Amino acid sequence: MIENEENIDSEYPNTLTRVGGMYKEWFLDYASYVILERAVPDIMDGLKPVQRRILHSMFDLEDGRYNKVANIVGHTMQYHPHGDASISDAMVQIGQKELLIDMQGNWGNIYTGDKAAASRYIEARLSKFALEVVFNPKTTNWQLSYDGRKKEPIHLPVKFPLLLAQGAEGIAVGLSTKILPHNFNELIDGSIKYLKGRSFKLYPDFQTGGSIDIKNYNDGNRGGRVKVRAKVEKYEKNIIIIKEIPYGTTTASLIESIIKASEKGKLKIKKIEDNTSSEVEVLVYLPSGSSIQKSIDSLYAFTQCEVSISPLCCIISDNKPHFLGVREILKISTDNTKDLLKRELEIQLTELENQWHTISLERIFIENRIYRDIEEKSTWDDVISTINNGLEPFKNRLKRDITIDDIKKLTEIPIRKISKFDLDKVKEKLVNIEANIEEVKNNLEHIVEYTIQYFTHLKKQYGKDKKRKTLIEEFDDLDKKKISIKNQKLYVNREEGFVGTSMRKDELVCDCSDLDDIIIFTEDGIMKVIKVDSKVFVGKNIKHISLFNSDSKNKIYNLIYRDGKNGTSFMKRFKVSGVIRDKEYDLTQGKDLSKVLYFSVNNFDEADVVTVYLRKKASLRKDKFEQDFGDLIIKGRDSKGNIVTKDSIRKVSYKSKASITEKNKKIDDIEVQDEQQVSDEKDESQTKLEF
């Protein structure tokens, strides 16, 4: 600690500055800036600030011709306070969506992951769709740019659910967003259904194709999850072809995952060829005799041929982050489109009415020769007054009052226009304007129907080549343990209590894979399930060890144990179908020095007959007897069991195996209670295994 802290400021006034509280304020400012100005899109137009500024700059430069991307990037830097690399990268991402930008040159490859050429070599212009849907200076709200020299849009007046069409991904401070792209036509259909008051559903659609399992999509909300698979088919004998890849992957990353899986022994391949260009084509060559279907299942189970995606629809609304579902986002976007169309109609109506008013005034001014009355007026006030008096008798023919600006415009009419005045043409023009006014008013009165017509037009005009690319289907669950190749060998040292795949000098148990689980029983009555590892201690004096898999549910375990050092001996039959990995289960009553005297494993329809040998003493009538496990009801592993004898047992030996009659094929309700207990004991750090 610093002594005499109260004297620091006076003693070192020019060298030390208190920073108490600054971190909290500065970090909050930084976090707010990253969330609002960089990483998360706005609900109003579906764009991040850099994307909005790029599109605005392209609209500034729009003349119908292509512009060098380097020029667009330089122009955007007037609005965006960051480097050119971030702008060009963002622009390439927009272009690769193939919706808002017409591209020319090498813009990279979304399939292979190849990057675009340098910005000085590629060109771009706004697409016709963008020009129709994204821009309208009359309905745009403006703000000053970061240096105060330019005006930039607060939001672009986007009349389309652009956010859901393009998708968005970003990592901010303390939160992130991952909105998956959706199909162009399905978004329009959803908007139309919403406007008609009907329900609708939305599911992702990816440029890279593939197939998607959407049963856990959860409307794109937090906690949802989708599985996406590549399109994998048999090509020729011992050759598999990958035609489409999952969203978020590239052929390079997919091939790398296949090679890693092969190196780990998850699947066997000979070689891979990547022939991808405008379409995906990856050929996977298999060894002779390989099963095509099992190899395809292995690709889905152990490589990026199947990926799991967790959507997270975080957006900015009213300068705050919100988490919404995709249907709610579409509803907000559709309502925003309706409001923008209404504003455009209102502006158009005002312009038409002003146009009608101006032409009508000119007609009155010229047709009634009012312009002659001002020829001899010497002052400006006299001119204004004379024109106003001349128009007075005709004011009832107009739809609004005459202003000074209206009169000033009349004084600016050129003589040539007066001399060529054609009353019939003026009347025709006024009739057309009046018809347009009535049409606009009708559209305003039926704004919902007008919005539906607008969306229908967009679908007809731009949706012809935007069919769904990603197939929606339900995937079969893949058991990785069954698919995986048994490429490891499991060993055990029973006395010392170690098991693993690296203990080659010890007893061999079986072949296994690194995904398998194993079940262990020790002589002191402890049961444990663990995952296969190179070497792990599980407890000394191992009585039984085997793989723990789906076949284990048909196994019945037979146990005779002594309760404590010199206690009563009990016997029981039980199943093991649900456990928590790495947790120890005591199969005895928990007393010290309890010991397992007999242990075996049977199929469900079998039971052991054993001979029990007692320690000799004078009071014993007989020192051995037989015990049939088939007489016992199958109970839970925590059950106490039936008494075998209160005398000391010398040994228990196997005699024979007997078939179980239907009468004895019973499982006690204790097992159900046992499973419930396991479920209650589970915590977040443990994994429950169910079969």
* DSSP character at residue 439: H
Q: Name 132's Cβ contacts closer than 8 Å, sequence gap at least 6.
A: none
**Neighbouring-strand partners of residue 309:** 226
Residue 217 bears catalytic tag = no
List the structure tokens of 630.
């088939």
Q: Are 599 and 542 within 8 A, CB to CB?
A: no
Q: Name 559's Cβ contacts closer than 8 Å, sequence gap at least 6.
A: 525, 571, 572, 573, 574, 587, 596, 598, 599, 641
Burial 474-510 (b: 16+ CB within 10 A, else e): eeeeeebbebbeeebebbbbbeebbbbbebeebeebe
List the structure tokens of 667.
């499982």
Question: Could you tell me the CA-to-CA distances from 618 to 348, 569, 613 in Å, in that order?
Answer: 116, 20, 15
Q: Kind of pairing, strands 151-155 and 595-603? A: unpaired
- Residue 102 identity (one-letter amino acid): D
- 3-state DSSP assignment of residue 599: strand
Number of other CB atoms surrounding residue 133 within 10 Å: 22
Q: How many Å apart are CA 459 and CA 463, to the nearest integer?
A: 5
Number of other CB atoms surrounding residue 210 within 10 Å: 24
Q: How many Å apart are CA 165 and CA 579, to the nearest integer?
A: 45
Q: How many Å apart are CA 521 and CA 528, to the nearest integer?
A: 7
- 3-state DSSP assignment of residue 451: helix
- Among 234, 236, 237, 253, smallest CA distance to 245 is for 253
Q: How many Å apart are CA 251 and CA 98, to the nearest integer?
A: 20
* DSSP character at residue 479: -
- Among 330, 413, 335, smallest CA distance to 161 is for 330
List the structure tokens of 635.
């109970």
- Residue 206 identity (one-letter amino acid): F
- Among 547, 640, 563, smallest CA distance to 601 is for 547
Q: How many Å apart are CA 517 and CA 184, to the nearest integer?
A: 46
- 3-state DSSP assignment of residue 415: helix
Q: How many Å apart are CA 492 and CA 645, to the nearest integer?
A: 33
Residue with token string 């020095």: 593
**Could you tell me the end-to-end alpha-carbon distance of the chain, in angstroms, rounded to an integer?**
59
With both helix axes pointing from N to C terminus, report the angle between 184-195 and 447-462 in degrees, rounded to the nearest 10.
170
- Among 249, 327, 235, 318, smallest CA distance to 281 is for 235
Which one of the listed residues 12, 30, 33, 121 is annotated catalytic? 121
**Neighbouring-strand partners of residue 141:** 155
Catalytic residues: 121
